[in-house]
Amino acid sequence: MPHPTAAPFGTWLSPITSELVASAAINLVDVLLDGDDVYWIEGRPQEGGRLVLVRRDDAAAKIDLTPQPFSARTRVHEYGGAAALVADGVCYFSDFRDQRLYRAKGSEPPEPLTPAPAPGDPAAALRYADGQIDRTRRLWIGVREDHRQAGQEAINAIVALDAASEGAGTVLVQGNDFYASPRLSPDGRRLAWIAWDHPQMPWVGTELWVADFDGAAVENPTRVAGGPGESVFQPEWSPDGVLHFVSDRSGWWNLHRAEANGDAVNVCPKAAEFGRPQWNLGMSTYAFLSAKRVVCSYIEGGLGKLALLELDSGELTAFDLPYSDFSSVRAQGGKIAFKAGGPTLASAVVLLDARTGEATAIRKASALPDDPAIHRHLAAPQAIEFPTSRGQTAFALFYPPRNADHLAPDAELPPLLVRCHGGPTSSASIALDLRTQFWTSRGIAVVDVDYGGSSGYGRAYRDRLHRMWGVVDVEDCAAAARYLVDEGRVDADRIVITGSSAGGFTTLSCLTSGDPAVRRMFRAGGSHYGVSDPEALARDTHKFESRYLDWLIAPYTDADGHRETYRERSPVRHADRLAAPVAFFQGAEDRIVPPSQTELMVAALREKDITAQYLLFAGEQHGFRHSSNIRWALDAEFYFFSTVVFRSHGAT
């Protein structure tokens, strides 16, 4: 094996190219079980981001169930989720093009279950998600979002559809602004669901309801749990008909059992998160193996674990697995399936034997880590806790540069890429992300910041961002960079910051901060479909997030100086403070953060004669799914930072 070649940080040659990142990776979404078969949805950048429902049967054969041009993706809440389900070998899925619900069996072509838009109705006016099949009554029961009233807010409801014939559905539950997780009891006589209203978000305050159900209507609805200040997540019925749910009433998302007298019992009290922010419908962190045993995932100390939980004793036994990030946990007939990833393991659909603990990855998001030539260059994350403002600490994942073929000159410190995750109520994933390795294998350190407001650290940590978006996240990102500089691990003169969506807002807020020390920390920025004007976002965004800013900043009203607060937090209004160049990456069809958001900032920068790179991607929405665009954006950002910072300060 040749000796490493000396080369400045940021100039290392890497086999982890943008082409490999874009072409080798797929996006694994929901995992499903039906009998002996495992199903999942995978997004394929090579097919323009098309989402394909795939089946793996007991003989390990893999079959695509949604033929071209179908794409199993729903636009309910715009973020979607739970676009498909399978029952007794029959698939039901929403198609992204028209948002109609389709039914497919075997090799038969999919047939629509919901109607095409009526004359005068907008396209994709009726959207469906998060369904389950009532086998006895042959009903699809799930969430419908109705956009037929042009100029008015969409109407969400829980509806029932005949699973064998076309129709728009019969409304079972309505009146709340949002619904999720309709779940039918094993005997079919009771229906549970989650509901919430503006301005709540599902990780802030939701309600769990249960009602009698006769197949045609619900009666005697009763609120079981939840309300303002309590987030309820993933209701499920045990095989013997006992309702369970995750609640953060203790300060942590823990699993609870609903008692007949109306009480709720925390079945495993723990300073750990058994729930997640419900950005997508159909999220699952636990599943029943029997009436008394559950397989569950949880986050403790920023790391994910998978365990068996004995419901009577509360005993929790973790599996010894190489993964640290778990989602879409399912169990049926003794079989366990889930999505998982680890620091050097790309996300995969995994089957687990509950008796032996043996795990088998049956579909990997990327084949690259299996290549020894690639594995030699992978950087493992280091969990760090660092001091930040108000005497508190925050968390991050730090990736030092690594490339087996290169080493840096003595005494040189690496550049640093500070990454702000989206949400902002989300978290940095510890699963292998080849986009991170793209940077680290070129000699650039990366820190993925879990600023205050991130999930995985309890309710109090999430609540740090209440009315403080654009303040706490900015302080914590700057504090992470400062900590690494003080530790002597990165070059203080070569720090850049990047983020997507809400992370783009944090990026721009750092670059336009009223604190000169924060502004000077970052030499350039990258905003991927990021918010530049929260006022514009408050006036022009989709229903799901239309009141999110009430919690993050303040209600958008003239009362109590709230609009002035928006102006104070608006990067576009403080472009005069900006001295660092910025690259912008935007989807032309983005409904969550419209292109107008980005174009306001670009115009402000160019008026000041500050370098502003603007790439608008046709056919992309909120997040890039086409392999060519993924490659282009990654290369363009690397070239931009290399030109304006990495090679103009220090390395040449």
The amino acid that residue 131 corresponds to is: G
In a domain, 90, yes or no: no
User: What pLDDT, on the 0 to 100 scale, is given for residue 373?
Assistant: 74
User: What pLDDT, on the 0 to 100 scale, is given for residue 97?
Assistant: 95
In a domain, 153, yes or no: no
Chain-centroid distance of CA 79 in Å reads 9
Residue 17: count other Cβ atoms within 10 Å of its Cβ. 17
451 in the same domain as 547: yes
Report how many domains make up the chain.
Answer: 2
426 in the same domain as 536: yes
User: What pLDDT, on the 0 to 100 scale, is given for residue 1?
Assistant: 56
Q: Are strands 524-528 and 495-500 parallel, antiparallel or unpaired?
A: parallel
DSSP code at position 645:
I
452 in the same domain as 311: no
User: What pLDDT, on the 0 to 100 scale, is given for residue 558?
Assistant: 80
417 in the same domain as 566: yes
- The H or E element spanning position 350 is strand 345-353
614 in the same domain as 506: yes
User: What pLDDT, on the 0 to 100 scale, is given for residue 622?
Assistant: 81
Cα separation, 196 vs 208, in Å, equals 9
Q: Please name the residue that has the structure tokens 């939840």.
A: 226
405 in the same domain as 303: no
How crowded is the C-beta side of 536, counted as CA atoms within 13 Å? 20
pLDDT tens-digit readout, 447-482: 999 999 999 999 999 999 999 999 999 999 999 999
In a domain, 235, yes or no: no
In a domain, 206, yes or no: no
592 in the same domain as 510: yes
236: nearest Cα among 207, 273, 271, 208: 208
DSSP alpha helices (H): ranges in 448-559?
A: 459-462, 472-486, 502-511, 516-521, 534-539, 548-552
450 in the same domain as 317: no
Q: Are strands 335-342 and 345-353 parallel, antiparallel or unpaired?
A: antiparallel
User: What pLDDT, on the 0 to 100 scale, is given for residue 242?
Assistant: 98
Structure tokens at 295: 């397989």
pTM above 0.75, yes or no: yes
In a domain, 223, yes or no: no
DSSP code at position 613:
E
In a domain, 312, yes or no: yes
424 in the same domain as 361: no
Q: Which residues of the chain have a pLDDT value below 70?
A: 1-2, 24, 367-371, 648-652
DSSP code at position 506:
H
359 in the same domain as 450: no
Which pairs with CB-CB distance under 8 Å and at least 24 residues apart come from 132-135?
A: 132/85, 132/87, 132/182, 132/183, 132/184, 133/85, 133/87, 133/88, 133/92, 133/163, 134/160, 134/184, 134/188, 134/215, 135/87, 135/88
390 in the same domain as 476: yes
Strand order in the sheet with 218-226: 178-184, 190-196, 207-213, 218-226
Q: CATH number of the domain that 458 lies in?
A: 3.40.50.1820
Contact 501, 530 (CB under 8 A): yes
Domain end: 312, 336, 365, which one?
A: 365
3-state secondary structure (DSSP) of residue 560: helix
Contact 223, 242 (CB under 8 A): no
In a domain, 143, yes or no: no
356 in the same domain as 392: no
Query: Which of left, alpha, beta for 251 (phi over 0: left; psi -120 to 50: alpha)?
Result: left
Q: Are strands 101-105 and 286-288 parallel, antiparallel or unpaired?
A: unpaired
Residue 130: count other Cβ atoms within 10 Å of its Cβ. 28
User: What pLDDT, on the 0 to 100 scale, is given for residue 496?
Assistant: 98
User: What pLDDT, on the 0 to 100 scale, is given for residue 128?
Assistant: 98
Q: Biggest alpha carbon distance in the chain? A: 75
Domain end: 365, 398, 427, which one?
A: 365
Name the residue range of residue 336's domain. 288-365
User: What pLDDT, on the 0 to 100 scale, is given for residue 652?
Assistant: 37
In a domain, 155, yes or no: no
Domain end: 308, 330, 365, which one?
A: 365
